[in-house]
Amino acid sequence: MSAVGHRFHRLIRRWDVRVAFHVLVLLGLLGSLGVAALSQPYFTRGVEAGEDLQPIPHTDVNPLGVNTLLNEEADPEKVERTLDMIAAGGFTFVRQMFAWYEIEPAKGVYVDPRTGQDTWEKYDRIVNLAHERGLEIIARLDKPPRWAREGQPGVDQVPDGPPNNDADYADFVRTVVSRYRGKVRYIQIWNEPNLYGEWGGQPINPARFTELLKAAYTAAKEANPEVVVLLPGLAPTDQRGPENLNEFLFLQGMYDAGAKDYFDIATAMVYGYGYSPYDRRVEFERNNFSRVIQMREVMVRNGDADKPIWAAEYGWVSLPDDWTGDASVWGRPVSAETQARYLLQGYLRAQREWPWLGAMCVWLFRFPTSPTATPDAGRNPTRGFAIVNYDFSPTPAYTTLAGSRARLDRAYTGAYPASTRLIQHDGGWNLVGEGTSQTLVPAAAGATLRIPFSGPRLDLLLDGSGQGLMVTIDGEPAPGLPTDETGAAIAVPDADGRVTVADGLDDGPHVAEIRALAGEGGSVALAGFVVVRQPWQSWAYPWIYGTFAVMVVLTLASLVWNWRFRPALPPSPTGGGANGHVPRRLTAADLRARSRARRSTVRRR
């Protein structure tokens, strides 16, 4: 053994060194536990597996949506061309402003006083062209006319603000909903009322806005009980008033004022601010893709977990490296290729982790004005959000998203009722019952339906008694089910009616095909299904904590064992020997003298 080895061997045999080593190990383990505990919220906050969720309405939609400014497009052919590209790109939702001041220039008047033209004409064109292409308009109803705010201070400086009489706005909402009943299903009440510039330069007041919301919601539902009312998009900000107010504080203020029963969908402005969509930091002051989690938390705290959130605006700004225009206020600009990648990754993360998030409308599809129209037009960094250029040439973002609908428009993490659009069948199944009690019942044996989904686990919710359902996943017998004599996988309900038909699949996409073995009266019914995705965080952190706990226990046990064999302590200075003499403490010189004496004795022997 080398000299170093001898020294190490002698060192580890020392009791004090062993104890110090154990203490250091314990401190390291406890520190690691602390790091794990601090990091867990970063990886797990907002992530839901879907296993214990109830269906959330308006989340089984195609998530692909866009914002348009078609009311500013003077050329009808370009309006049609824009909507053609939106439909061809696989988008479903089109969030489009319906400017109150433009439609109703005077109370009850819908004629442009300058031209004598019907103010509805261009909006009718937009609605009809969108409807013909199967697109869903989200009508953003804001931008008040001057007459509705007459007498308020600062109207010329800040034209957008609350009306003097909420009934005037309610009448406008009622008129829009009535006119487009059957063609426009979604309306959005106002826009960014938590900002100074959208609230007439007045102190931000969520209770006052809630009064306006209640009037508008009531009028909309009177005109069409089926219309879906969205909250305004609340601008992300960390300010606390009075000019601008943080969106979560504003939303809480709305709940405090009784807004809960006056909207169907909450909305958020979801921007990346230059960060990856997988930036999981969630902080009051931080603007990033994960910020929307805090809005969900406000809703849950107020008993509104059964309502969805939609992204009214969603995007990353992309500017060229040689950009010389105005600076971006939306974080660090990204390249066109990165913008495309981030947009798709954001959709995928939301589908996999946030079953409460529905449509996400990219800001913006295309600017209808030329970058050379005015000296300032080309300097506007907002143009960097557009996914189609002014000349209608597609950016990488449009190309990427245009090929993604088949991947995105399917069931991801979450629970889905029998009435969901994601259950596809040829008419051989009948939807019976009402509300949450609806089930799909096969009309005859052999009736088939399909469920496109993405995720590792699929559970079916079955109801009633009778013969089971034959299930295949991607054309093969469902791996989680027993098989009959022919090798077919058959799903039959257990005590709670929930049956796992597949588990441990890759992320997909997958297609489940379900075939009835008997007709109505002889078959179980399908009450819905659940896609479960247990994220790695759900098992990794319990495993980490368990491993550290075992190591701490073992280290403590070893420390106790070593403590039992500690060296005897020297006599107490106050104790002394039989004659009361207190032994003198040995010095280094004494020890060396003893060592020389031992060596001399050995030589004499």
Domain CATH number, residue 213: 3.20.20.80
In a domain, 440, yes or no: yes
437 and 520 fall within a common domain: yes
Question: Which residue, among 51, 148, 165, 32, has the nearest Cα to 100 in the 3D structure?
Answer: 148
Number of neighbouring beta carbons within 10 Å of residue 514 = 24
CA distance 267 to 295: 9
Clarify whether residues 194 and 150 are in a common domain: yes
- At 423 the three-state DSSP class reads coil
pLDDT at 392 over 60: yes
- What pLDDT is attached to residue 308? 98
Q: Considering the domain boundaries, does residue 525 fall inside one?
A: yes
Are 222 and 320 in the same domain?
Answer: yes
Stretch 260-282: mean pLDDT, rounded? 97
The band of 11, judged by pLDDT with boundaries at 50, 70 and 90, is: very low
Percentage of residues in the chain with pLDDT exceeding 90? 76
Q: Evaluate whether residue 484 is within a structural domain.
A: yes
- Domain match, 378 and 453 both: no
Are residue 170 and residue 205 in the same domain, yes or no?
Answer: yes
> Same structural domain for residues 181 and 234?
yes
- Do residues 462 and 497 make contact, with C-beta atoms less than 8 angstroms apart? yes
pLDDT at 544: 73
Query: What does the pLDDT average to over 423-444?
Result: 94
Q: Span 421-448, mean pLDDT?
A: 94
> The tokens 């078609």 sit on which residue?
70
Domains: count for the chain: 2
Assess whether pLDDT exceeds 60 at residue 12.
Answer: no
Q: Is 49 part of a structural domain of the chain?
A: no
Query: pLDDT value at position 435?
Result: 85
285 and 207 share a domain? yes
Each residue of 484-537: pLDDT tens digit? Answer: 999 999 999 887 899 999 999 999 899 999 999 999 889 999 999 999 997 666
Let me know how many helices (H) and strands (E) the chain has, helices first.
14, 20
- Going 362 to 357 to 99 to 329, the CA torsion angle's sign is negative
State the average pLDDT over residues 526-555: 77
Residue range 161-193, pLDDT digits in tens: 999 999 999 999 999 999 999 999 999 999 999
Residue 24: predicted pLDDT: 75
pLDDT at 220 over 50: yes
Which tokens is 49 given? 């597996």
Q: Decide which of 351, 375, 409 is a domain's last residue.
A: 409
Q: Is residue 3 part of a domain?
A: no
Return the higher-pLDDT residue of 377 and 39: 377
Average model confidence (pLDDT) for the chain? 90
pLDDT tens-digit profile of 65-94?
999 999 999 999 999 999 999 999 999 999
Task: Examine residue 251 and state whether it is found in any structural domain, yes or no.
Answer: yes
Residues 395 and 444 in one domain: no
In a domain, 573, yes or no: no
Q: Please, are residues 266 and 250 in contact by the beta-carbon 8 Å criterion?
A: no
Q: Which residue has the higher pLDDT, 300 or 47?
A: 300
pLDDT-wise least confident of 325-339, 439-453, 544-558: 544-558
Do 396 and 419 fall into the same domain?
Answer: no
CATH number, position 468: 2.60.120.260
Among 433, 296, 275, residue whose Cα is nearest residue 339: 275
362 membership: H or E segment, kind and range: strand 357-362
Same domain? 345 vs 420: no
Higher pLDDT, 549 or 206: 206
262 and 367 inside one domain: yes
Strongest mean pLDDT among 49-63, 271-285, 530-544, 579-593: 271-285
- Which residues, including other chains, have CB under 8 Å from residue 314's CB and lie 6 or more apart? 270, 271, 343, 346, 360, 361, 362, 363
What's the pLDDT at 603? 46
- Determine the pLDDT at residue 578: 45
pLDDT at 255 (0 to 100): 98
Torsion region of 475: left, alpha or beta (phi above 0 gives left; psi -120 to 50 gives alpha): left
pLDDT at 47 over 70: yes
Quote the pLDDT of residue 460.
97
Contacting residues for 504 by C-beta, under 8 A, at least 6 apart: 456, 457, 479
Model confidence pTM above 0.85: yes
- Mean of pLDDT values over 394-404: 97
Q: Quick one: pLDDT at residue 101?
A: 98
pLDDT tens figures, 294-309: 999 999 999 999 999 9
| Together in a domain, 400 and 424 | no
Range of the domain at 127: 64-409
Last residue of a domain, one of 371, 386, 409: 409
Boundary-marking domain end, from 503, 534, 565: 534
Percent of the chain, pLDDT > 70?
A: 86
The answer to whether residue 60 scores a pLDDT higher than 50 is yes
pLDDT class of 8 with cuts at 50, 70, 90: very low
Domain assignment present for residue 18? The answer is: no
